[in-house]
Protein backbone atom coordinates (compact mmCIF):
# COMPACT_ATOMS: atom_id res chain seq x y z
CA UNK A 1 0.00 0.00 0.00
CA UNK A 2 2.99 2.33 0.31
CA UNK A 3 2.78 3.16 -3.39
CA UNK A 4 -0.65 4.77 -2.96
CA UNK A 5 0.65 8.14 -1.89
CA UNK A 6 1.78 11.36 -3.50
CA UNK A 7 0.22 12.68 -6.71
CA UNK A 8 -2.27 10.16 -8.08
CA UNK A 9 -3.84 10.77 -11.48
CA UNK A 10 -7.61 10.39 -11.74
CA UNK A 11 -7.58 9.24 -15.35
CA UNK A 12 -10.15 9.35 -18.12
CA UNK A 13 -11.74 6.28 -19.67
CA UNK A 14 -11.15 6.13 -23.45
CA UNK A 15 -14.13 4.96 -25.51
CA UNK A 16 -14.60 3.01 -28.69
CA UNK A 17 -16.77 4.37 -31.50
CA UNK A 18 -19.76 2.52 -30.05
CA UNK A 19 -19.18 4.04 -26.59
CA UNK A 20 -17.63 1.01 -24.91
CA UNK A 21 -14.68 1.48 -22.52
CA UNK A 22 -11.57 1.01 -24.67
CA UNK A 23 -9.11 -0.97 -22.57
CA UNK A 24 -6.49 -1.16 -25.33
CA UNK A 25 -6.24 2.62 -25.61
CA UNK A 26 -6.51 2.96 -21.84
CA UNK A 27 -3.48 0.75 -21.23
CA UNK A 28 -1.31 2.86 -23.54
CA UNK A 29 -2.55 6.06 -21.88
CA UNK A 30 -2.25 4.77 -18.32
CA UNK A 31 1.29 3.48 -18.83
CA UNK A 32 2.31 6.84 -20.26
CA UNK A 33 0.92 8.71 -17.24
CA UNK A 34 2.58 6.32 -14.81
CA UNK A 35 5.90 6.50 -16.65
CA UNK A 36 5.55 10.28 -16.72
CA UNK A 37 5.78 10.53 -12.95
CA UNK A 38 2.40 9.78 -11.40
CA UNK A 39 2.78 7.87 -8.16
CA UNK A 40 -0.40 6.00 -8.98
CA UNK A 41 -3.72 6.06 -10.82
CA UNK A 42 -7.37 6.13 -9.90
CA UNK A 43 -9.33 4.46 -12.71
CA UNK A 44 -13.09 4.43 -13.17
CA UNK A 45 -13.57 7.32 -10.78
CA UNK A 46 -15.46 10.56 -11.39
CA UNK A 47 -12.94 11.72 -14.02
CA UNK A 48 -13.29 8.28 -15.60
CA UNK A 49 -17.11 8.65 -15.71
CA UNK A 50 -17.65 5.30 -13.98
CA UNK A 51 -21.30 5.97 -13.22
CA UNK A 52 -22.01 6.27 -16.95
CA UNK A 53 -21.14 2.58 -17.45
CA UNK A 54 -22.94 -0.61 -16.52
CA UNK A 55 -21.52 -2.94 -13.90
CA UNK A 56 -20.66 -5.48 -16.61
CA UNK A 57 -18.76 -2.84 -18.59
CA UNK A 58 -16.82 -1.83 -15.49
CA UNK A 59 -15.98 -5.44 -14.66
CA UNK A 60 -14.79 -6.11 -18.21
CA UNK A 61 -12.65 -2.97 -18.20
CA UNK A 62 -11.00 -3.79 -14.86
CA UNK A 63 -10.34 -7.34 -16.01
CA UNK A 64 -8.73 -6.18 -19.25
CA UNK A 65 -6.45 -3.76 -17.38
CA UNK A 66 -5.35 -6.52 -15.03
CA UNK A 67 -4.71 -8.97 -17.88
CA UNK A 68 -2.61 -6.33 -19.67
CA UNK A 69 -0.04 -6.41 -16.90
CA UNK A 70 -0.43 -2.88 -15.63
CA UNK A 71 1.13 -2.30 -12.17
CA UNK A 72 -2.01 -2.81 -10.09
CA UNK A 73 -0.03 -2.12 -6.90
CA UNK A 74 -0.06 1.52 -8.05
CA UNK A 75 -3.73 1.62 -9.02
CA UNK A 76 -7.02 2.08 -7.20
CA UNK A 77 -10.39 1.71 -8.86
CA UNK A 78 -13.76 3.30 -8.20
CA UNK A 79 -16.31 0.66 -7.19
CA UNK A 80 -19.12 2.72 -5.71
CA UNK A 81 -22.69 2.33 -6.96
CA UNK A 82 -26.25 3.21 -6.07
CA UNK A 83 -26.94 -0.52 -6.07
CA UNK A 84 -25.50 -2.50 -3.17
CA UNK A 85 -25.36 -5.58 -5.39
CA UNK A 86 -23.32 -3.75 -8.05
CA UNK A 87 -21.01 -2.26 -5.44
CA UNK A 88 -20.38 -5.75 -4.05
CA UNK A 89 -19.69 -7.18 -7.52
CA UNK A 90 -17.35 -4.34 -8.51
CA UNK A 91 -15.49 -4.29 -5.21
CA UNK A 92 -15.03 -8.05 -5.06
CA UNK A 93 -13.81 -8.08 -8.68
CA UNK A 94 -11.31 -5.27 -8.12
CA UNK A 95 -9.87 -6.94 -5.03
CA UNK A 96 -9.68 -10.39 -6.63
CA UNK A 97 -7.90 -8.92 -9.68
CA UNK A 98 -5.29 -7.35 -7.40
CA UNK A 99 -5.93 -3.61 -7.51
CA UNK A 100 -4.22 -1.91 -4.59
CA UNK A 101 -7.35 -0.17 -3.41
CA UNK A 102 -11.04 0.42 -4.01
CA UNK A 103 -12.40 3.96 -3.85
CA UNK A 104 -16.02 3.75 -2.73
CA UNK A 105 -18.60 6.50 -2.95
CA UNK A 106 -21.73 5.98 -0.82
CA UNK A 107 -25.08 5.30 -2.53
CA UNK A 108 -25.99 8.68 -3.96
CA UNK A 109 -29.36 8.86 -5.68
CA UNK A 110 -31.72 9.01 -2.69
CA UNK A 111 -30.64 11.86 -0.44
CA UNK A 112 -30.89 12.12 3.31
CA UNK A 113 -29.69 8.57 3.97
CA UNK A 114 -29.22 8.05 7.71
CA UNK A 115 -25.85 7.22 9.23
CA UNK A 116 -27.36 3.91 10.32
CA UNK A 117 -28.21 3.18 6.69
CA UNK A 118 -24.69 4.02 5.52
CA UNK A 119 -23.12 1.89 8.23
CA UNK A 120 -25.38 -1.00 7.20
CA UNK A 121 -24.43 -0.51 3.52
CA UNK A 122 -20.70 -0.66 4.22
CA UNK A 123 -21.10 -3.53 6.67
CA UNK A 124 -22.83 -5.63 4.01
CA UNK A 125 -20.31 -4.51 1.39
CA UNK A 126 -17.40 -5.60 3.61
CA UNK A 127 -18.93 -8.99 4.30
CA UNK A 128 -20.07 -9.81 0.77
CA UNK A 129 -16.97 -8.46 -1.01
CA UNK A 130 -14.61 -9.86 1.66
CA UNK A 131 -12.72 -6.57 2.00
CA UNK A 132 -9.35 -7.11 3.71
CA UNK A 133 -7.40 -4.56 5.70
CA UNK A 134 -5.64 -1.71 3.88
CA UNK A 135 -7.70 -1.79 0.68
CA UNK A 136 -10.79 0.42 1.20
CA UNK A 137 -10.69 4.16 0.49
CA UNK A 138 -13.73 6.31 1.23
CA UNK A 139 -14.70 8.78 -1.49
CA UNK A 140 -16.00 12.00 0.06
CA UNK A 141 -17.75 13.98 -2.67
CA UNK A 142 -20.86 15.53 -1.05
CA UNK A 143 -21.71 17.62 -4.13
CA UNK A 144 -22.28 14.36 -6.03
CA UNK A 145 -23.36 11.94 -3.30
CA UNK A 146 -25.26 14.15 -0.86
CA UNK A 147 -23.24 12.58 1.98
CA UNK A 148 -20.27 13.92 3.90
CA UNK A 149 -17.96 11.41 5.53
CA UNK A 150 -17.55 13.38 8.75
CA UNK A 151 -15.18 12.44 11.56
CA UNK A 152 -18.02 10.88 13.50
CA UNK A 153 -19.32 8.90 10.50
CA UNK A 154 -15.81 7.65 9.71
CA UNK A 155 -15.49 6.58 13.33
CA UNK A 156 -18.75 4.63 13.09
CA UNK A 157 -17.80 3.07 9.75
CA UNK A 158 -14.39 2.02 11.05
CA UNK A 159 -16.24 -0.18 13.52
CA UNK A 160 -17.58 -2.35 10.69
CA UNK A 161 -15.06 -2.06 7.85
CA UNK A 162 -11.26 -1.57 7.71
CA UNK A 163 -10.67 1.91 6.23
CA UNK A 164 -7.27 2.56 4.69
CA UNK A 165 -7.78 5.99 3.19
CA UNK A 166 -10.02 8.91 2.30
CA UNK A 167 -10.27 11.08 -0.80
CA UNK A 168 -11.78 14.47 -0.05
CA UNK A 169 -13.33 16.00 -3.14
CA UNK A 170 -14.99 18.69 -1.05
CA UNK A 171 -11.39 19.91 -0.67
CA UNK A 172 -12.05 21.11 2.87
CA UNK A 173 -8.73 21.59 4.70
CA UNK A 174 -10.48 21.86 8.06
CA UNK A 175 -12.18 18.50 7.53
CA UNK A 176 -8.95 16.91 6.34
CA UNK A 177 -7.06 18.19 9.39
CA UNK A 178 -9.81 17.03 11.75
CA UNK A 179 -9.73 13.57 10.19
CA UNK A 180 -5.93 13.44 10.37
CA UNK A 181 -6.03 14.40 14.03
CA UNK A 182 -8.72 11.82 14.83
CA UNK A 183 -7.21 9.04 12.66
CA UNK A 184 -3.45 9.64 12.28
CA UNK A 185 -2.96 6.48 10.19
CA UNK A 186 -5.75 7.29 7.71
CA UNK A 187 -4.29 8.03 4.27
CA UNK A 188 -6.01 11.31 3.36
CA UNK A 189 -5.89 12.72 -0.17
CA UNK A 190 -6.99 16.16 -1.33
CA UNK A 191 -8.45 16.54 -4.81
CA UNK A 192 -5.98 19.08 -6.20
CA UNK A 193 -2.25 19.16 -6.82
CA UNK A 194 -2.49 22.79 -5.74
CA UNK A 195 -2.81 21.35 -2.24
CA UNK A 196 0.23 19.05 -2.44
CA UNK A 197 2.60 21.22 -0.42
CA UNK A 198 0.01 21.78 2.29
CA UNK A 199 -0.83 18.07 2.30
CA UNK A 200 2.82 17.13 2.70
CA UNK A 201 3.41 19.73 5.42
CA UNK A 202 0.41 18.47 7.38
CA UNK A 203 1.24 14.80 7.00
CA UNK A 204 -1.46 13.86 4.50
CA UNK A 205 -1.00 11.18 1.83
CA UNK A 206 -1.10 13.36 -1.29
CA UNK A 207 -3.76 14.17 -3.86
CA UNK A 208 -5.99 12.39 -6.36
CA UNK A 209 -6.64 14.74 -9.25
CA UNK A 210 -7.67 14.58 -12.90
CA UNK A 211 -5.27 17.32 -13.94
CA UNK A 212 -2.28 15.52 -12.40
CA UNK A 213 -2.43 13.36 -15.53
CA UNK A 214 -1.63 16.45 -17.62
CA UNK A 215 1.66 17.21 -15.84
CA UNK A 216 2.63 14.14 -13.80
CA UNK A 217 6.34 14.97 -13.75
CA UNK A 218 5.75 18.43 -12.34
CA UNK A 219 3.47 17.06 -9.66
CA UNK A 220 5.99 14.33 -8.80
CA UNK A 221 8.84 16.83 -8.59
CA UNK A 222 6.79 19.07 -6.31
CA UNK A 223 5.94 16.16 -3.99
CA UNK A 224 9.44 14.66 -3.91
CA UNK A 225 11.41 17.90 -3.50
What's the N-to-C CA distance of the chain in angstroms? Answer: 22
Per-residue pLDDT tens digits of the chain, which is 225 residues long: 446 999 999 999 999 999 999 999 999 999 999 999 999 999 999 999 999 999 999 999 999 999 999 999 999 999 999 999 999 999 999 999 999 999 999 999 988 899 999 999 999 999 999 999 999 999 999 999 999 999 999 999 999 999 999 999 998 999 999 999 999 999 999 999 999 999 999 999 999 999 999 999 999 999 998
pTM over 0.75: yes
- φ, ψ for residue 157 (rounded to 5)? -65, -35
Per-residue pLDDT, 225: 85
- Residue 49's Cβ-count burial label (10 Å; 0-12, 13-18, 19+) is middle
Which residues, including other chains, have CB under 8 Å from residue 139's CB and lie 6 or more apart? 45, 78, 80, 103, 104, 105, 106, 145, 167, 169
Other CB atoms closer than 10 Å to residue 203's CB: what's the count?
11
The answer for residues whose C-beta is within 8 angstroms of residue 127's C-beta and 6 or more apart is none
Sign of CA dihedral 11, 170, 143, 5: positive
Alpha helices in the chain (DSSP H): 23-35, 55-67, 84-97, 115-129, 142-145, 151-158, 173-182, 196-201, 216-224
Amino acid sequence: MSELSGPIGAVLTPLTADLQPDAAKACIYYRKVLDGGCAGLNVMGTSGEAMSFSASQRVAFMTALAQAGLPLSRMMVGTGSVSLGDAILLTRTALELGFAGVLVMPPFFYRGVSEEGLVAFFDRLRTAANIPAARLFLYNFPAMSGTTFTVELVRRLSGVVPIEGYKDSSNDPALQNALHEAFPKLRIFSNSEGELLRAQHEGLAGCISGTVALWPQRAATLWEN
